[in-house]
Amino acid sequence: MQELLFGSWGPHIIAYSQQHPWRVFAIVLTAILLLDLMFRNQSRGSGDAGDFGGLDLGGDGDGGGD
């Protein structure tokens, strides 16, 4: 079954994940968070010019003058 999923890389991936479980967890978590960020921004549309990822960066757009 592993050969069908990963080809000849299957045993290498499993051995690496058993030797470095926290590193593999961090890689998977980072990939999931990046994919979520990319697809959430695409589905939501362009939005406001001062809006980034749901965060309001403030300001009224006048360049920060007095």
pLDDT in tens, 19-61: 999 999 999 999 999 999 988 876 665 555 555 555 555 666 6
Q: Classify each residue of 47-63 as buried b or exposed e, where b means 16 or more C-beta atoms within 10 Å of its C-beta.
A: eeeeeeeeeeeeeeeee
**Total count of domains within the chain:** 1
> Residue 35 belongs to what domain range?
20-44
In a domain, 57, yes or no: no
pTM for the structure as a whole? 0.51
In a domain, 36, yes or no: yes
In a domain, 30, yes or no: yes
Give Cα separations from 55 to 16, 38, 49, 65 (angstroms).
38, 15, 11, 22
In a domain, 38, yes or no: yes
In a domain, 35, yes or no: yes
In a domain, 33, yes or no: yes
| Rounded CA Rg of the chain | 21
What pLDDT was estimated at residue 61? 61
- Residue 10: pLDDT band (50, 70, 90) is confident
Residues 29/37, Cβ–Cβ less than 8 Å: no
